[in-house]
Amino acid sequence: MSDDLYREYILDHYKNPRNFGRLEHATISHEEGNPLCGDVVGIDILLDKDNNVADVKFHGRGCAISQASASILTEKIKGMNIEQVKAITKDDLLEELGIEVSATRLKCALLSLKVLKAGIYGISTWPDEEEE
Amino acid sequence: MKQNAQTPTGLDVYKIRQDFPIFSRKLKNGKPVAYLDSAATSQRPRQVVEAMEKYFFECNANIHRGVYQISEEATAAYESARQKVAKFINAQSSREIIFTRNATEAINLVAYTWGRQNISQGDLIVLTIMEHHSNIVPWQILAKEKGARIEYVDIDEKGYLRLDQYTNLLQQAPKLVSFTHVSNVLGTINPVKQMVKQAKEAGATVLVDAAQSAPHMAVDVQDIGCDFLAISGHKMLGPTGIGCLYGKRELLEQMPPFLGGGDMILKVTLNGASWNELPWKYEAGTPAIAEAIGLGAAIDYLNRIGMENIHAHEKMITEYALEALSEIDNLTIYGPPLSDRSGVISVTIPGVHPHDLATIVDRDGIALRAGHHCCMPLMDRLDIAATARISFYMYTIPEEIDRFVESLKKAKEIFEK
């Protein structure tokens, strides 16, 4: 059975999430929920002295889109400098996911990025968030 | 695919569907919508929209104060809608029917008027764990303001209210008891008459949330015996933006007004105002005239079909769906057996998040609801984040259930492979 949204790549990350768990000595730790469907994503980041992502873990529960997105995002940022992480846009993540999501499901797909940015900036919205 | 169940209910559902233009529409995938979300909002028949159009195109004017013909016609149409509501729920007088925006506003009206007048520090308010947020949050706001406390009646494993616990709570002499007639998640039909009787004997004022019952079964406020009852127009074929509060006349007379403004006054001076008589005391400002008229037309439509027929048809569809779903492995169905269940079925499948399920079935043209259904405390109680919910109405056909079941199997395959 093939499905353009729930394709192998997404389902694989959903069923076998990468970097799943918690970091004990995280430099940045942040968690948020999506009230629409009760998705929760939390991300712990350990930065080294040069502000590179030495390690990253995520935890949470929710739909395949939100959890796969978190898994994919943690893979992407591992090793990156914090400035590069800050520069990741919504479109970057959506491109990485390789799926087209409807307006309601966009919140699921982007929850992990929201958590990441909010954790880094220490705010619940990040500078380039626009009205929907 | 199962063979189509006949409708032994005297209700020609295929003919009824012709009154709902939305069922002739083809979605992006070329299929018609299988609309299984009537607990969120019902579809609207042509007759309702035409009644509203008639107001807009033939007698569009503000009501109550115009002395010209079209204003008088508009006033008559608006007030006739009120009488239809009164008759529909068997209120003693149409003065006991207050038009609101929705059931939520109806409950808030009681919280902000009766509640502020009658609830004091330390008073007890009894609610249930299966309430919609609209029957929790207004009371939480009130309780916080007044220093009152709230207790919630729990459910048992089958999705029934724990009436033993309810009885015990009533012994603590609550000032207010407020509960839903039908759960929008579990489909449980609560024994309202018995519960109201007990609450009245305990000296409480009682509000019944009929948003999920009035569209689907005969609701008789005098038989139920409640003090207040809240209704939602858009869940019973009417338009959005209109709901009703029923209140016993003596209570409505004693309560202070809700919103201040035009139409709710008798006389205004620079030093104060006196209030209009019922029901207009609670209807400040220009109301939703077209929407009230639309609700009146919806009630005409429901009466023509017959609430008993509607209830019987939904029961047949619910039975059909429960049977089809019971054949699917690894599926949890919430709520009580058919005998005490309205046309609402919530399910979960391990490994398939309800939102993913909703997205997959959406591609097959099936409209269902996934989420907490504005019942987060109930979700916490059931220890789940969300359910996928299908809900029915007089126009639901077995073919739509078949389409849902097929699509559900597909979703399971995608996630279980």
Q: How confident is the model at residue B385 (pLDDT cuts 50, 70, 90)?
A: confident
What is the pLDDT at residue A58? 97
Q: How confident is the model at residue B6 (pLDDT cuts 50, 70, 90)?
A: very low
What is the pLDDT at residue B76? 97
Does B371 sit within 8 Å of A63, measured CB to CB? no
Question: Which of B404, B400, B368 is closest to B387 using CA atoms?
Answer: B368
What CATH number has the domain bearing residue A82?
3.90.1010.10
What is the pLDDT at residue B29? 87
pLDDT digits (tens, 9 = 90+) for B31-46: 999 999 999 999 999 9
What is the pLDDT at residue B236? 98
Domains of chain B from N-terminus onward:
13-32+306-416 (3.90.1150.10), 49-304 (3.40.640.10)
What is the pLDDT at residue B417? 75
Residues 6+ apart with CB under 8 A from A104: A36
The predicted model scores a pTM of: 0.92
Interface subset of B 373-412, CB within 8 angstroms of A: 379, 385-386, 410
Nearest to B414 among A6, A62, A102 (CB): A6
Range of the domain at A111: 8-121
Does A39 sit within 8 Å of B370, measured CB to CB? no
Residue B141 Cα, gap to closest chain A Cα (Å): 20
Does B414 sit within 8 Å of A36, measured CB to CB? no
Residue A126 lies in a domain: no
Global ipTM: 0.81
Q: CB pairs below 8 Å between A and B: how many? A: 51
- Six-digit token string for B297: 């037309």
Residues 6+ apart with CB under 8 A from B405: B324, B325, B328
CB B251 within 8 A of CB B206: no
Residue A70 lies in a domain: yes
- In angstroms, the first-to-last Cα distance of chain A is 33
pLDDT value at B65 more than 50: yes
**Burial letters B341-353, b for 16+ CB under 10 A, else e:** bbbbbbbbbeebb
Q: How confident is the model at residue B3 (pLDDT cuts 50, 70, 90)?
A: very low
Please state, in angstroms and rounded to a whole number, the distance separating the CA atoms of residues B64 and B62: 7
Residues of B in contact with A65 (CB under 8 A): 355-356, 359
What is the pLDDT at residue B194? 98
Can you list the residues of chain A whose pLDDT is less than 50? Answer: 1-2, 126, 130-132
Please state the φ and ψ torsions of residue B124, each to the nearest 5 degrees. Answer: -105, 135
Residues of B in contact with A1 (CB under 8 A): 410, 413-414, 417
Please state, in angstroms and rounded to a whole number, the distance separating the CA atoms of residues A42 and A58: 5
Task: Count structural domains, chain A.
Answer: 1
Residue B358 Cα, gap to closest chain A Cα (Å): 10
Residue A21 lies in a domain: yes
Please state the φ and ψ torsions of residue B217, each to the nearest 5 degrees. Answer: -155, 160
Residue A63 Cα, gap to closest chain B Cα (Å): 5
What is the pLDDT at residue B179? 98
Please state, in angstroms and rounded to a whole number, the distance separating the CA atoms of residues B216 and B322: 18
**Mean pLDDT calculated for residue range B263-268:** 91
Residue A96 lies in a domain: yes
Task: Using CA coordinates, name the residue in chain A closest to B355.
Answer: A63
**Mean pLDDT calculated for residue range B144-156:** 98
pLDDT digits (tens, 9 = 90+) for B195-251: 999 999 999 999 999 999 999 999 999 999 999 999 999 999 999 999 999 999 999
Mutation choice for A interface testing from B137, B359, B375 by most A CBs within 10 A: B359
Of all residues in chain B, the percent with pLDDT exceeding 70 is: 98
Residue A81 lies in a domain: yes
CA atoms within 13 A on the CB side of B15: 5
Residues 6+ apart with CB under 8 A from B304: none
Which residues of B are tagged catalytic? 374
Residue B210 DSSP symbol: -
Residue A132 lies in a domain: no
What is the pLDDT at residue A123? 61
Mean pLDDT taken over chain B: 95
- CA torsion sign for B401, B405, B407, B411 is positive
CB A30 within 8 A of CB A23: no
Residues of B in contact with A102 (CB under 8 A): 359, 362
Residue A2 lies in a domain: no
Residues 6+ apart with CB under 8 A from B358: B368, B369, B370, B388
- The neighbouring-strand residues paired with A31 are A42
pLDDT digits (tens, 9 = 90+) for B217-228: 999 999 999 999
What is the pLDDT at residue A7? 83
Does A36 sit within 8 Å of B359, measured CB to CB? no
Pairing of strands B243-247, B265-269: unpaired
Residue A130 lies in a domain: no
Task: Using CA coordinates, name the residue in chain B closest to A2.
Answer: B414
Residues of A with CB under 8 A from a CB of B: 1, 3, 5-6, 11, 36-39, 61-65, 102, 105, 108
Please state, in angstroms and rounded to a whole number, the distance separating the CA atoms of residues B139 and B363: 40
Q: Is B79 on the interface with A (CB under 8 A)?
A: no
What is the pLDDT at residue B9? 61
Task: Using CA coordinates, name the residue in chain A closest to B353.
Answer: A63
Pairing of strands B34-35, B124-128: unpaired
Nearest to A1 among B355, B379, B414 (CB): B414
Residues of B in contact with A6 (CB under 8 A): 356, 360, 414-415
